Structures are given as C-alpha cells and as structure tokens.
Amino acid sequence: MRRRVSGRLGLAALAAAGLLGAAPASARLALDYLAIRGNEGGSAGGHAAIRFGAETFHFEHDGGLLRLKREDSLRFQHVYRTLQNRDIELSRVPVSRETYQLLRERFRLRALVQERQLAIEAELASDARLLEALRGSDPSLDVAGAGFFEPDAGSLADADADADAAAGELAALRRRIGSLHGEDFLARRRAETDLALARLAPETASSDEVALAADRYPGPPASFSRRAENALAARIALDLLARPRPLRPEALAPASHALALAPGERERLREVSAGLRESMARLAASRREDWGYPLLLGMARLSALEISLRSERLVVLDAFPAQSRRLEITPLRRSLLPGLLAEAQADLMAARERLRAAGGYDEADWSALEAAAARWLELRSAEAGASSIRVQAGSLLPEARARVPLSGPSRPAAPPEAALAQARAAADRYRERLEALYRYDLVRRNCVSEIFRTLEAGLALDAPAEDAAALREFVREESTRRLGGHVDPVAGFNFIPFVSSHRVRASWSVSERASLPSYRHHRLAEMKAREPWLLVALRESNVLTARSHRAADEEGFFLFYTDSGVPARPLLGALNLGAGLLRSALAVAQLPFDGGRALRSGLTGVVFSLPELLFQNIRKGYNDYVPPGERPPPG
C-alpha cells in the first residue's frame, strides 16, 4: 500500500514543471483503473489509483491517516513509472458523460473536503498556541507575507537605487488607491483593522460542533489564530503603503546575469506591472477577511518588477517555502545536474515565452515564472558548488513568513485559563475524530478500498432514503448499470491492488487492457529491439553493467535484478542477501562520516532480498532523474 515517501523524488522535483499537461483525449469519457506494482519503500504491496483524463486520484498513508491526493496524470505516471520504476496495469472503462462527471466530481469533492478538514485541524492547534502566547509577556504570531519587506520604517536614504525604486512603486500604488477609493481611504481602513484586532477574542467552537464527514464540506470554526493572522497581515500592508520600505534581500531569488531581459520583455514587464498595480489597488478595498497576504504578495511582486526594469534582468521573489527540505548534492546527484539544468532551463524559457505572449497581469503565468526561475536558480547554485539545495514537490508560491509581535493598544486581551484549556481540548478532540474518519487499516481501509468506497458514494447520490440493505442494493444496481458490474471494496481480498485489478476486469465493462511499462522495462524493450537478446539479458542482469536503471542515492543496496527470470530468483536473491550483509558490515566503519547512509542502504538491501528467496520480487530500483528522451511515453 502507498505510504508517503519523502526523499525519493527531491532532485527530480526541481525539473518537474514541464511534465504537466493534458492526458490523452481517449481518456476523457472513460475512467481508468490503475494497479501499480510494488517497490521498496512505502508501498511494497503495490498501489492503486483511478484516472479521469488529466486528473488522477489516489490515497496515501500519511501520518496514520489516508489522504486523497489529486495529481496531474502525466506527473503521476512520471513519478511511478519513471522515477519509482513500477509497471502499471491499466483497465479502461467507457462511461457516459453523466457518469464520468458524477464520479469525477465525487473524487474532487472528497479531496477538497479533506484538505479543508486538515486545515481546520492545523488552525485549532494554532488557536491553542496563540492563546498560550497571549498569556505571556511578549506574544507574537507567524504571519504570511510579513517577511517580504524590511521592518524598519525609517529613512530610505541609505537604500540602494533598486530598493529606492521598489519603494517608489509602492508610493505609486498608494496614489492609485487614493484616486480609486478616496484620499482618506487608507486611514479609515487602518482604523478598521486596528479595531478588529483589538476586539479579537477566542471563539473556538467545540470540535463536536464542526461537521466532519468525508463528503460534506465543513463550515469553518471561529479560528482565532487565522483571524489574528489576517488582521496582522492587513495592518502590515497598510503600514507599508503609508511608509514604503524596500524588499528584504532574502525575499528575492538570487540575481543572475543569465536572466537578462530579452528584446521586448522590458515592455511586457511594464504592462505586467501596470496590470498588477491596478489589481492590487482594487484588492485594497476587498471586504474579504484574508486580503492582507495577497496584497503584501502583490506589493512585493511590484517591487521585484521595478528592480527587474531598473537592472535590465529578470528578478523574482524567492518561491521556496521556509520548510523546504534541503537535499545533499552527492557525487551521483552532481553527475545528474547537466540534464536537470537543461530541463529546468527549458521550463523557464517556456514560462518567459508565455509571459511575452500574454497581455496584462496573469496570476497563474507569473506564479509559474517565479517557480520555474526558483528551481533553475537552485540547480545553478549546485552547479556552482553548493553542497545542498532546496527541493519542494508541487507548486511554489512565495510566503515570506515572519514573526509579528502582538503589542500596543490593538493587542488582544489575554484569555483566561479556561479558554486555553477549551482550545487545547477542541484541538485534541478534532484530531481524534479525524483519525476515526480516515485511520489507515491494511484490510478495511487502504488505498484500494477507499477508491471503491468513493465510487459508491457517487453512485449513491440519487438513492432513496431507505435502510442500509436497500442502499447497498441500489449501489450495486447503479454500478452494474453505469460500469457494467460491481466490485466490493474489501470482499474476496479486493483490498490487494492486483486482486482488485483482476476483479475490475472480470466485473466492469473494460474496453481496453494495457500494461504500462516502467522505465527499466521500457528501456529493456528498446534494447532488445536493437541488440541481441542474450547480450541485453546478461548486461542488464546486474547493477554494475546495466543501462536500464539510473541508481538513486537512497535506494537499498543490491547486485542483481530479480524482476524477471523467476526460476533463478532465489539464487539471485541469495546473492543479493549476501551482498547486503557485506555492505552493512563494511558500512559500520563509515558511520562517523556519512550519518549512517551506507548502513541504511545495506540493511534495506537485506530486507528486500528476503522475499526473493521465496520467488517474490518487490525491489525494482529507483531513479533520481531520467532525461526526457529516455522516459516511457505516457499511456
């Protein structure tokens, strides 16, 4: 079953933006059931997912909970087939447009619901921490956007020319706000914000009052910490407009002469700046409670744009969050840098080209440009000799969090001990309820069972209000009518990914069956088409001479591949076991120097050699990075 695996895909995450795109058109009116082979790590027993065109949904075991993930379909295939070296068994089921939309929306809803529920859990815990801080002498709160600009509101006389120009851009925004909303608007808005902050009081709802179901979007509790953060961000933004200050150097991505503005790009940046300024001037009057951080982000981007125009090279905000993992650049990873840099540069060039082709300010395009530049610049730092770099899978958005004191006349009052105790109890109880709803269980609630339960929830939407037996019969009939048959979530060992795949093929109206090969198997097929079969078999049988596997630094140690040649598997497994034991013994001497990396590799190799003695193969090898031209085509 799929567990969240950290550390496997860090390096590749820096060059992943170019993988996003639409899935094949043939998948638009069919749902695809995907059974993924196991590998060492968190999903040795295999994994399962369901694909709706460009979106793939799957459940991960993360911190004791099963979390529904919505992934771009091309990226999902790249991660599992290319980087994790897993074959995927695909079963395609044609469905009506109504059924396709009904089931896809059910998965989308469940993903959104769970995301919000987990956010509520974090807010309840944050409420307790803030109430405890307010009982102290020097309370403060972590605020998104507070770290973009220098905290000192004094003279700008010592600021350099770029900083002075950036601060001048904020003055232009202030004038535009005055012309749109009135010259006294910012003073009135500041008074409203101070009053709202001073009146803040803990209103933590009982966790039992918060609706908690997998298919019901929860109404937000009165999150004291969230309201306090929103008010502080708004106050910082208003202070910044009243007294412009330069950006902090650390808020910007490293400058590079390689990002010189191309012909015509300067004029485009002026158009982007004008569009962003107008958008921020209107945002300043928003009645939404959370307008402060977007305004701070917009002002920081305006300042970065002005620096870009003055310096004649592209300057963007640092898009990596503070909690980004740092990845050590080992000799193996350093050898992969040229390919990673080339791919990251292509993504950056594509993002700049989209910017040149567009008109005005587009939030999505600018965010994509910031992210592409951030990843490229991180790889450039590794090329220049950095010993580690930041990595972050998924989208990037500048946060610039910083601690902000809760002081002065607008400081909320210190809560009584009873309020603090209530907040702590609410956070604990909500976590307990989340665990009851999403707790992982190998048989009853895993990555397979929850796919079928989510499908059943969608099929049950029009069920009459009857007893449980009648509801089960209705779902069975709907599944047969819409999908061709019914698969019970856990009966008959259906919780095992490849058992469930066989059951889908036996029960549903499957129009197409396909085996999507892993990177290694894709490469082997290419080699056998060009070279003598025996030569390929011998060369690719071991890690020392193979060209079909680009070893990852953190995978277990082994010598022979056992994903084919079943009769010889126990013998090869015994050799792998011996090699793992020898590697572990030698690694003891390396403990003071490598932090136990070699020992972990050896012991992992031992563990995953044991099933091979019983004719079972789990280990497939991982790849830190594979060049685009070698990747298996998406299926």
One-letter-per-residue 3-state SS of 237-282: HHHHHHCCCCECHHHECCCCHHHECCCCHHHHHHHHHHHHHHHHHH
pLDDT band at 103 (very low <50, low <70, confident <90, very high): very high
Q: 246, 258, 280, 43: which is closest to 155 by C-alpha?
A: 246
pLDDT at 422 over 90: no
Report the distance separating Cα 382 and Cα 391, nearest Å.
12
Report the distance separating Cα 20 and Cα 22, nearest Å.
7
pLDDT band at 24 (very low <50, low <70, confident <90, very high): very low
pLDDT at 543 over 70: yes
* pLDDT tens figures, 466-507: 788 889 999 999 999 999 999 999 888 999 999 999 999 999
- CB burial readout 496-512, b (16+ within 10 A) else e: bbbebbebbeebbebee
pLDDT number for residue 5: 45
Overall average pLDDT of the 26-40 stretch = 84
Least confident range from 23-32, 147-156, 206-215, 498-507: namely: 23-32
* pLDDT tens figures, 356-407: 887 778 899 999 999 999 999 999 999 999 999 999 888 899 999 999 988 7
Three-class secondary structure of residue 88 per DSSP: strand
* pLDDT tens figures, 34-71: 999 998 876 778 999 999 999 999 999 988 899 999 99
pLDDT number for residue 155: 43
Please give the single-letter amino acid code of residue 431: R
> For the chain, what percentages of helix, strand and coil (3-state, to nearest 5) are there?
55, 10, 35
Report the distance separating Cα 441 and Cα 52, nearest Å.
26
Is the pTM for the entire model greater than 0.85?
yes
pLDDT number for residue 6: 44
* pLDDT tens figures, 241-270: 999 988 999 999 998 889 999 888 899 999
pLDDT number for residue 609: 93
Q: What does the DSSP 8-state code read for residue 182?
A: -
pLDDT at 221 over 70: no
Report the distance separating Cα 364 and Cα 362, nearest Å.
6
* pLDDT tens figures, 137-184: 788 899 999 999 998 754 444 456 666 666 788 989 999 999 999 999
* pLDDT tens figures, 131-148: 888 888 788 899 999 999
- For residue 60, give both structure tokens: 């991960």
